[in-house]
Chains A and B, each alone.
Chain A
Amino acid sequence: MAEDFRKYEDHELVQMMDGGKRRSDAAFTEIYDRYASSVFAYCLKVLGGKDQAEDIFQETFIQFYNKVKADHKNLSVRGFLITIARNLCLNYKRDKKNNVRIEEIEFLFKTYQGYEEKEMLELVRMAIELLDEKYKEPLILRVYNGLSYDDIAAICKTSSVNARTMVFRAKQQIKKTLKPYLKDIYKEK
């Protein structure tokens, strides 16, 4: 009878990954199921493009599989995965500059008419793209990865208070950017 790996904690699954292949595969699969969406969301939001995000996403799990060791008893799997993804994204962006031009995005904003919820979603996505990098990453880690401010601080190598401030400023910036469009979306005066 197949074993239910959902009952195990992250660190137990990590330990199993050092065991026999069958259990190791099953443990990795469970970790993948738990964090794939979160890691992919991070890659997608940080990089902007789906193709690049999928490449980095795949590489993240491959590196995780190869690097993780059973003696990582206190390892935060989510944090470890996001850290790997973050480094890969930084390397990618360093090697290949992101060429999204603000003028183009503003043009896209102007083309939207008759907004509804769906359009609101699109606008939010683009507003995130417009954010300053130092605000963007903490916001993504907070709203798309659900990390605490302490975890965000650890990943971004800053203080918890600073992480909180950056998330707040990111949201304020988005609201400011969207303010004219929110009126249109919800037909407000």
Chain B
Amino acid sequence: MKYSELINDFVDGKLNSADEDKLFSMLSTDQDMRYELRDSIRLERAFSNDAGSIAPSAAATVGVFGKLGVTPPGTAGMPPASGWKKFTAGMGKYSNAIISSAISSVATAVIILALLNPWGDKGNIQNDLQKSDANHAAVALSDSSDQNNDFPTVKSVTEEEMVVKNEKPVKERIVYRYIEKNQSTKDNNETSTSKMNNDEFSSNNEIRQMPEHQLKYAVADLNNENKLYYKERPVFAGKDEYRNLSAEADPWHELGLTAEVTANQYWSFPKASVGYSSTPLFNNTSIALMYKMDDDLSAGIDLRQEYFYQEYEGFENGTKFRYMQHPNYLSCGLTAKLRFMDFDYINSFAQVYVGGNQAGPIGRLMYGLEINPSHNYSFILGIEGSLMVYHHGDQYFYSPKIGMHYGIAFDF
């Protein structure tokens, strides 16, 4: 037997043990034979890969079943399954999406935590203050013992004094939110604030020689001497605060526009039993441009590429057919977002969408969180439910789906 035949039988699994010994003995001394074995294995692997990649198209399957008038796969011959089994089977199918979403969420959380630095490197805070330029207004909070009441007063200090004071390590950081009354007293040099969100302070605190927009929000560092240092720009203030604070400094913020780019993962109902009809670039991706009507309400347009699984029935030449398709549509619509439960770095929102595509109208409800590590951008993570209505012949059908969306929004 030639060595080619030995090799062929070996990769074919037909070689007996005696010939196998012979083959290995020959392989140990013959380099050409080793090359041939290697090529044979590569060839078998290529055959295997090729065979595994071949499958009839969905159109061919529909063609077979349609011509025979047989209920197509996915609706007949399905194994019985309990609710739990159906659930686990469904989860298994979407495991990639779930895992990738989970990874995205964890990565987002890690980035935010890193930015927020909740463990606090106080040296950084001090350096931050020391590096502050002349535009950063600074006020010192004098000891309460100096006053006739229990509340310290805030007064202006020189920048030189501020730097000296900051040589002391920062003991505590407090973020104050001032609710401004805009009441001018007879004394134009004095503007009063009615309340701070910290109970330690009351309306009789006085802030002197500060522009109005700087009075709304402040970040203060309280050092060991109980001196309060005021910074015009909060280090990690939410975007709303920053916008109010810096409206005069940055005119772009007055535009109140938000551009959102989000990706979507979804589950169709009923479960899709045919594959995607196409896979265009940016599928299941949306972009929205919204105008911020006030701090809580935004409205704008939303454009997205998305799949809708459609399963419907109809008659052709007197024969009833069940159609299944999973096309990609370009949907466009109007959307409005309402923010609520607003915290420093995070807020929740509810969003409604009304739009359509070439198949029919679409309604969508969304709920989620906006995480604001910076005043310029925020991360979005939420869930959504969509419903598309379409018709075939004189019948109307519905294509519902639920999913999650995640992305990033830029304010400008």
Contact = CB atoms under 8 A, between A and B. Distances in A.
A46 to B, nearest CB: 12
B54 A144 contact: yes
A143 B47 contact: yes
Interface in A21-38: 22, 25-30, 32-33, 36-37
A interface majority secondary structure: helix
A103 to B, nearest CB: 24
Nearest to B52: A37
A82 to B, nearest CB: 14
B80 A29 contact: no
A62 B68 contact: yes
A54 B57 CA distance: 8
Interface stretch (B36-44, B139-147, B215-223, B364-372): B36-44
Contacts of A28: 68, 70
Contact of B54 (A2, A41, A168): A41
Contact of B43 (A27, A40, A175): A175
A130 to B, nearest CB: 14
A75 B48 CA distance: 27
Q: Sort chain B's interface into a size bin.
A: 35 or more
Contacts of A1: 80
A3 interface: yes
Interface string B32-74: 0000100110111011111101111101110111011011110
A57 B62 CA distance: 12
B316 interface: no
Interface residues of A, number: 42
Nearest to A6: B79
Nearest to A124: B46
Interface string A114-136: 00010011001100000000000
B68 A65 contact: yes
A125 B43 CA distance: 11
B205 interface: no
A65 B70 contact: yes
Contacts of A186: 42
B4 interface: yes
B30 interface: no
Given A37-B54, A41-B51, A58-B60, A171 B40 contact: yes
Interface in A98-126: 117, 120-121, 124-125
Interface in B213-232: none
B129 to A, nearest CB: 57
A108 B76 CA distance: 44
A125 B73 CA distance: 30
Nearest to A139: B47
A54 B47 contact: no
B343 to A, nearest CB: 49
A147 interface: no
A29 B71 contact: yes
A92 B157 CA distance: 95
Contacts of B67: 58, 62
A151 B70 CA distance: 30
Interface in A167-189: 168, 171-172, 174-175, 178-179, 182, 186
Contact of A29 (B39, B43, B51, B76): B76
B8 interface: yes
Contact of B56 (A4, A29, A54, A143): A54
B73 A32 contact: yes
B77 interface: yes
A142 B51 CA distance: 11
Given A25-B71, A182-B42, A40 B64 contact: no
B212 interface: no
B79 A4 contact: yes
B249 interface: no
Contacts of B47: 124, 143-144
Interface string A38-50: 0011001000000
Contacts of A182: 39, 42
Contacts of B71: 25-26, 29
A111 B406 CA distance: 43
Given A40-B60, A124-B47, A33 B73 contact: yes
Contacts of A2: 77-80
Contacts of A179: 39
B5 interface: yes
A116 B328 CA distance: 32
B64 A25 contact: no
Contact of A54 (B44, B50, B60): B60
A182 B42 CA distance: 9
Given A37-B56, A41-B51, A30 B64 contact: no
13 contacts: A2-B80, A6-B77, A25-B76, A26-B71, A33-B77, A54-B57, A54-B59, A57-B56, A120-B42, A124-B47, A171-B8, A175-B36, A178-B43
Given A26-B71, A40-B55, 6 more contacts: A4-B80, A32-B64, A36-B56, A54-B60, A62-B67, A172-B8
Which 6 pairs between the two chains have the least Cβ-Cβ distance?
A4-B79, A26-B77, A29-B77, A143-B47, A40-B56, A41-B54
Interface of A: 1-6, 22, 25-30, 32-33, 36-37, 40-41, 44, 54, 57-58, 61-62, 65, 117, 120-121, 124-125, 143-144, 168, 171-172, 174-175, 178-179, 182, 186
